[in-house]
Chains A and B, each alone.
Chain A
């Protein structure tokens, strides 16, 4: 009888939820009771909302347990491992019976994430056991040429997953056509969109797929050296990449004459980012690898002509590379059978915000936003009203609920004024203020602007000032027109994508939520009850029991009243901190 397996998810999200403790608990119980099962580690399987996750595999199949504590883990070992009876109420996913989270996996197609959550990312053997490095082996044994690989990538229809959506095969062809003797390949793992973690999950969960993708890319464009530019905020990803690179070198997947292909020499280095969003932009990224301030450069020349240290360079995103080995093994038509006419394959999204099932999903292009939010995401927390999704982070925009039947593909999303972006999907409900959201993103781009282009540097500052003034109740009638005018100027006069897209969050919210702006400006009201200066806290006389609690907690002594009598808030003193409301046991305080 095969051994049972117990696998603990130890991605960043799992660790944050306490998976480390769970692993230790299981390990010590195993030792103490001398239990017979294999204890393994894996990374994020995407169900971040149920972390920590523990999977048990026995003869009957796989059972994933969610929200596990050390106590529950002990129970599982007792019942499932010793007595062979799974604890149904803790199981969140299995093929054996239905679970309430079943919907989260229905409709997902895992290509880029094919191994995430299934293998130990620190074991090259486990990657190999799931067809890992088979693409590279196939290239060597069938003597596939660079041209054929590039044609395959082109035929698959895959477009860059870093946000731009440029056809990857075409980019490779440009780099291939340049016959310089030294060429480079770069993996962009800067993942700067604040609210996205697709690349982190791939790097933490399946680093070899990225290395293999890069190696295939290097073979295709004939590059000899590769760089992975990874955010320093992802220490676990960097650690696992380093382990993976060492393993790949030891096994001859990196190095000289790789897989016996004469003259195919390629090695990969890791470069840690130093914290600048603009370094995700390809030319700024190269400046940063060169050790300079990460400021974008003018294009043309494009990287394929003159990139890193002026050598032809090809740069792709983590997710793009992770797809490549799968395409080579399964063939381009297998890939292009998913998706829409102009957007093929699948896309990974990081589902966050006011959504029940926050996590990582990989869906075929062409699925509607509504299906992602409600079928996979399980709907809105506390069943509040769904208001909008934000796609594309600071470069993207908000898509309102009434356009939620928009399908996920590059062109349909662009048509709404948002962008597909790298895959952050932040869900908003009725309590999210759209003006505040726009202000949030402008605050981000203002800080992250490198300062090279005047309009981006000063224009974002001016826009932020206007937005701040609106959220504080000091907006002017003319502000919306000024914002739109400034937006167009910034878009037209910025060198790189940062400035060119920075106004998108403002433009889309004005387009779809103009009434919210107007409420702030004209009525000095925040319909979502979010913007503090516009709020008014009042005590509801009938409900107040005079318990005096609010009076005690108010930090500015704005509340007065006698015991057992209704209290009163002095509006002139109130700083709208909301403390009284959160403390009141009788729901006797209203916010308007």
Chain B
């Protein structure tokens, strides 16, 4: 299923600078359009990978939306993250078909491999492990999705191997994190 949506403590790390200039075109595009809250939040998330509070504040100020409304929407939908995530998001499907085909084993294997619990990010901020509902490839259950790549008919072992492969590539290419 979706990752737990209630993240009561938003990320407030003072040391991290938020480049607000990224938001200018976004605000221009959506200002004064009705129903713009979700596209604005999606835009913020596209710019930073998550929704930093200062960015939300800035957008609220410059569009006339209420910060509380924006926060309400951001915390309602599973898509929005109020915390930074890893560079690579590993989505393990826990839809019905995948559950029946033992998706739990996949998540457990990945938890072991990555050393984090479901919904968490590795310390080096490379991987975030999360559970999602049906990815629409049920006939290939159990399934996980990394970036645009979907991996089907998995076993725990294969899932671990996929992660190891990616790690190797990351290290090879001198990952910036």
Q: Is the A/B pair a real complex?
A: yes
Q: Which residues of A contact B (CB under 8 A)?
A: 12-13, 15-17, 48-49, 51, 191-197, 200, 232-235, 271-277, 288-294, 309, 350-354, 358-359, 390, 393, 424, 426, 428, 432, 437, 440-441, 443-444, 447-448, 450
Closest CB-CB distance, A484 to chain B, in whole Å?
Answer: 23
The 8 Å CB contact of B150, one of A12, A234, A354, is A12
Task: Look across to chain B and name the residue whose beta carbon is closest to the beta carbon of A279.
Answer: B77
A-B contact pairs, 19 of them (CB 8 A): A13-B139, A16-B150, A17-B152, A48-B137, A48-B140, A194-B96, A194-B134, A233-B132, A233-B134, A271-B38, A291-B36, A291-B37, A293-B73, A352-B97, A354-B100, A358-B138, A359-B139, A426-B96, A444-B1
From residue A467, how far is it (CB to closest CB) to chain B in Å? 14
Choose one: B5, B78, B96, B152; the contact of A16 (CB below 8 Å). Answer: B152
Give the most central of A192, A233, A271: most B CB within 10 Å. A233
Q: How far is the CB of B79 from chain A (nearest CB, A)?
A: 4
B100 touches A428 (CB 8 A): yes
Contacts of A274 in B (CB 8 A): 38, 41-42, 77-80
How far is the CB of A386 from the nearest CB of chain B, in Å?
A: 13
Cβ B34 vs Cβ A447 within 8 A? no
Inter-chain contact B150/A196, CB cutoff 8 Å:
no
Is there an interface contact between B34 and A290, defined as CB atoms closer than 8 Å?
A: yes
Is there an interface contact between B73 and A291, defined as CB atoms closer than 8 Å?
yes
A363 to B148, CA, bound (A): 32
Once bound together, how far apart are the Cα atoms of A354 and B94, in whole Å? 15
B140 CB to nearest A CB, Å: 5
Do B76 and A309 touch across chains, with their CB atoms under 8 A apart?
A: no
State the CA gap A448–B2 with chains docked (Å): 9
Determine if A352 and B2 form an interchain contact, defined as CB atoms under 8 angstroms apart. no
Cα-based distance from A200 to B137 in the complex (angstroms): 10
Known: A291-B35, A291-B36, A358-B139. 8 other contacts (CB 8 A): A195-B96, A200-B136, A274-B80, A291-B73, A293-B72, A352-B97, A352-B139, A424-B96
Tell me the bound Cα distance from A291 to B138 in angstroms: 31
Residues B100 and A233 in contact, CB atoms below 8 Å apart: no
Measured between alpha carbons, how far is A575 from B7 in the docked complex, in Å? 30
Q: Are B77 and A13 in contact (CB under 8 A)?
A: no
From B1, B38, B137, A194 is in contact (CB under 8 Å) with B1
> In the complex, what residues of A have CB within 8 A of residue B137's CB?
12-13, 16, 48, 197
Q: B135 at interface (Cβ–Cβ under 8 A)?
A: yes
Is B141 at the interface (CB under 8 A from chain A)?
Answer: yes
Chain B residues in 8 Å Cβ range of A234: 136
Q: Is the CB of A432 within 8 A of B100?
A: yes
Give the docked Cα–Cα distance between A16 and B136 (Å).
Answer: 10
CB of A17 within 8 A of CB of B140, answer yes
CB distance from A355 to the nearest CB of B (A): 9
Interface residue ranges of B72-127 to A (CB < 8 Å):
72-73, 76-80, 94-97, 99-101
- What is the bound-complex CA distance between A273 and B39, given in angstroms? 10
Is B53 at the interface (CB under 8 A from chain A)?
no
Closest to A269 in B: B35
Contact count A vs B, C-beta below 8 Å = 135
- Chain A residues closer than 8 Å to B1, beta-carbon distance: 194, 443-444, 447-448
Check: B133 CB closer than 8 A to any chain A CB.
yes
CB atoms of A195 and B138 under 8 A apart: yes
Chain B residues contacting A358 (CB-CB under 8 Å) are: 97, 138-141
Query: Using Cβ atoms and an 8 Å threshold, which residues of chain B touch A16?
Result: 137, 140, 143, 150-152
Determine which residue in B72, B80, B136, B138 has the highest number of CB atoms from chain A within 10 A of its CB, and name it. Answer: B136
Whether B4 sits at the interface, judged by CB under 8 Å, is: yes
Which 8 residue pairs are nearest across A and B when measured between Cβ atoms?
A: A195-B96, A358-B139, A48-B139, A275-B78, A16-B150, A194-B95, A274-B77, A291-B37
For A274, give the chain B residue with the smallest CB separation: B77
Compute how far the CA of A83 lies from the CA of B35 in the bound complex, rounded to whole angstroms.
Answer: 59
Instruction: Report whether A447 and B140 are in contact in the complex, using a CB–CB cutoff of 8 Å.
Output: no
CB distance from A351 to the nearest CB of B (A): 8
Closest A residue to B105 using CB positions: A578
Residues from chain A with a CB closer than 8 A to the CB of B42 are 272, 274
Among A48, A353, A443, find the residue whose CB has the most chain B CB atoms closer than 10 A.
A353
- Which B residues lie within 8 Å of A200 (CB)? 136
Do the beta carbons of A444 and B133 come within 8 Å of each other?
yes
Asked whether, in the complex, the Cβ of A13 is within 8 Å of the Cβ of B36, the reply is: no
Residues of B within 8 A of A293 (CB): 72-73, 76
CA distance A191 to B69 in the complex (A): 26
**Are B136 and A275 within 8 A (Cβ)?**
no
Tell me the nearest residue of chain B to A272, going by C-beta. Answer: B42
B139 touches A426 (CB 8 A): no
- Asked whether B2 lies within 8 Å of A49 as measured between CB atoms, the reply is no
CA distance A443 to B131 in the complex (A): 13
**Are A197 and B138 in contact (CB-based, < 8 A)?**
yes
Across-interface contacts of B152 in A (CB, < 8 A)? 16-17
Residue in B4, B41, B76, B136 whose CB lies within 8 Å of A276: B76
By CB atoms of chain B within 10 A, which of A12, A195, A272, A289 has the most? A195
Query: Which residues of B lie under 8 Å from residue A195 when comparing CB positions?
Result: 95-97, 134, 138
Interchain CB contact under 8 A, A277 and B133: yes
Chain B residues with Cβ under 8 A from A15's Cβ?
150
Most chain A beta carbons < 10 A, residue from B1, B97, B141, B143: B97
In the complex, the answer to whether B2 meets A275 with C-beta atoms within 8 Å is: yes
A496 to chain B, nearest CB (A): 15
B96, B140, B141, most chain A CB atoms within 10 A: B96
Question: CA A443 – CA B38 in complex, angstroms?
Answer: 26
Known: A16-B151, A16-B152, A233-B135. A292 touches B37 (CB 8 A): yes
- How far is B95's CA from A200's CA once the two chains are assembled, in angstroms? 15
Complexed CA–CA distance, A232 and B97 (Å): 20
Q: Compute how far the CA of A13 lies from the CA of B97 in the bound complex, rounded to whole angstroms.
A: 14
Chain A residues closer than 8 Å to B69, beta-carbon distance = 292
CB neighbours of A13 from chain B (8 A): 136-137, 139-140
